[in-house]
Amino acid sequence: MKRLLFVGTLLMAVVAPAMAQTAPPATPAVVPLPVAPAAPPAPPPVIIPAPDYNTDAGWLCLPGRQDACAVDQNVTVITGDGKRKVVKFKADPAPKYDCFYVYPTVSLDPTPNSDLNIGPEERQVAASQAARFTAKCRVYAPLYRQVTLTALRDIMAGKASAADRKLAYLDVEAAWRAYRDKYQAGRGVVLIGHSQGAGILKQLLAEVIENDPSQRRLLIAAYLLGTNVAVPAGGDVGGDFKRTKLCKAMDQYGCVVSYVTFRADSPPPENSRFGKVPQPGMVAACVNPAALGGGKAVTDAILGTKGAGLASAPMGPWTSDNAPVTTPFVSVPGLISAECVSNNGFNYLAVTVNANPQDPRTDTIVGDVVVNGATLKDWGLHLIDMPVEMGNLVSLSEYQAAAWRGTPMDLPKKK
């Protein structure tokens, strides 16, 4: 998995159904005969063995080892008066529940599907999206032969692609079986995925977990972010999922959180792939972790200090004095609010930056997809779907896990 990083959050949910990886049939020779000979039969498809998830090598993150999820998560908290403090991160040495994480489209491999070598792009996205959950749960993150950014760019350009989405799904399904057989031991689990990873987990939940009562009982929640989950208009179950409802309260478990993110002042254009589903009578789910019951709320955003990766513009100074930030992550309490809205047929999480001339902090954040200097408005704030609500998601998982265990926590008081 070649160089670079988190351009990846550029996703899979956009990818049209891809062709399986098969060699093309041979072309019959042109010969001067009355009837041309029949073409030889096409060679059989190349079967690539699935990764061995019973070995450590099949995993990007496993509990108890130094890997992509055991990295610096310290945060500089910058309050509205410009004051700063560094909050040091500590992983829970004995978590009571598990998290099963599938990363988004990040691979820069030149092939349609990625290899299984851990590159800097996989490490960076795990640091941005999964590592913070180790404060509350054991994180399992399988490597998988995902559809690469190389293939995604070809598809977006209208070129033919041999990318095989089924191959990617089957890898994750095999990893899930290995996790259940070797590691789970009856523990509750939160599914966490973004973009391509969320789309794969959506299929796994619909086709495997929902149809097995023993697996359904172990589901604490599914966080399917940056992908479209279909629900009936005005309902919370019955679209993509037949049994698993949308989450509406912090002490509800066995439910789904899903949303796609756009700036409040830049809603999805007509050509957006996000926030709309093709099924008649269905809409895209939007569940705001900061306000599960609806309405607008300040989020606990935890953002990358330098920005959202190579697919976005770099982040400028966090404060007007241009003072550097030395931690990999930044928290800006009160600066960002979010609300689920319906607009022109789209359902999405509308994000507002609460700019204040008296506030020395930045008045803007990055997270839009930018290509050759142009912002792709149909992608919204896809690059920060998770960071814009990261603190809320980690906290929510703890409350839901406690409710699942039958030891519910006191719910936070509304401010």
Q: What tens digit of pLDDT does each residue of 219-257 get?
A: 999 999 999 999 999 999 999 999 999 999 999 999 999
Higher pLDDT, 15 or 321: 321
Mean pLDDT across 169-176: 97
Least confident window among 14-23, 159-168, 244-253, 402-411: 14-23
pLDDT tier at 415, thresholds 50, 70, 90: low
Residue 5 near residue 314 (C-beta atoms within 8 A): no
Report residue 241 as tokens.
């999922």
Q: Which residue has the tokens 């926590």?
A: 409
Q: Is the pLDDT of residue 46 over 70?
A: no
Sheet strands (E) in 8-133 = 59-61, 75-78, 84-87, 97-102
pLDDT-based confidence at 153, cuts 50/70/90? confident
Of 16-20, 59-63, 273-277, 331-335, the poorest mean pLDDT is in 16-20
Mean pLDDT value across residues 24-32: 32
Mean pLDDT confidence for 56-73: 97
Q: pLDDT band at residue 48, thresholds of 50, 70 and 90?
A: low
| pLDDT recorded at residue 351 | 98
Q: Is it the case that residue 29 has pLDDT exceeding 90?
A: no
Q: For 177-214, write each residue's pLDDT tens digit.
A: 999 999 999 999 999 999 999 999 999 999 999 999 99
- What does pLDDT average to over the chain? 89
Torsion of CA 123, 3, 314, 328, to 10 degrees: 30
Which of these, 216, 65, 218, 215, lies nearest to 140 by C-alpha position? 65
Using only the alpha carbons of the chain, give its radius of gyration: 22
E strand or H helix at 401, and its extent?
A: helix 390-405
13 confidence band (pLDDT: 50, 70, 90)? very low
State residue 389's pLDDT score: 98
Which pLDDT score is estimated for 121? 95
Q: Which two tokens stand for residue 87?
A: 């909050």
C-alpha distance from residue 141 to each of 101, 171, 298, 318, 404 (Å): 5, 12, 29, 32, 22
Tokens describing residue 155: 């598809």
Burial class (CB within 10 angstroms; exposed 0-12, middle 13-18, buried 19+) of 333: middle
User: How do strand 189-194 and strand 97-102 relate by DSSP bridges?
Assistant: parallel
Using the predicted structure, report yes or no on whether residue 2 has a pLDDT greater than 90: no
Answer with the residue of higher pLDDT: 243 or 37: 243
Tokens describing residue 185? 């031991």
pLDDT value, residue 1: 44
Which pLDDT does position 25 carry in this prediction? Answer: 34
pLDDT of residue 50: 74
Give residues with Cβ within 8 angstroms of 85, minimum separation 6: 76, 77
Distance CA 149, CA 143 (A): 16
CB 45 within 8 A of CB 22: yes
Output b/e per residue, 71-109; b: 16+ Cβ within 10 A: bebebbbbbeeeeeeeeebebeeebbbbbbbbbbbbbbb
Provide the edge-to-edge strand list for the sheet that holds 84-87.
Answer: 84-87, 75-78, 329-331, 302-304
Please tell me the predicted confidence (pLDDT) of residue 49.
64
pLDDT of residue 200: 98
Beta bridge partners of 374: 371
Average pLDDT, integer, range 356-370: 95
Find out whether 55 and 62 touch, Cβ atoms under 8 Å: no
**How far is Cα 271 from Cα 224, in angstroms, rounded to an integer?**
22
Burial 136-149 (b: 16+ CB within 10 A, else e): bbbbbbbbbbbbbb
What six digits make up the tokens of 152?
């995604």
- Name the residue ranges covered by the structural domains of the chain: 6-12+49-405
Polymer length in residues for the chain: 415
Alpha-carbon dihedral angle through residues 125, 175, 399, 185, given to the nearest 10 degrees: -140
Q: How far apart are CA 25 and CA 28, in angstroms?
A: 9
Q: Look at residue 11 in the predicted model and tell me its pLDDT.
A: 38
In terms of Cβ atoms closer than 10 Å to its own Cβ (0-12, 13-18, 19+), residue 261 is buried
> Which amino acid, one-letter code, is at 263?
R
Q: Based on the number of CB atoms within 10 Å of its own CB, is 402 exposed (0-12), middle (13-18) or buried (19 or more)?
A: buried
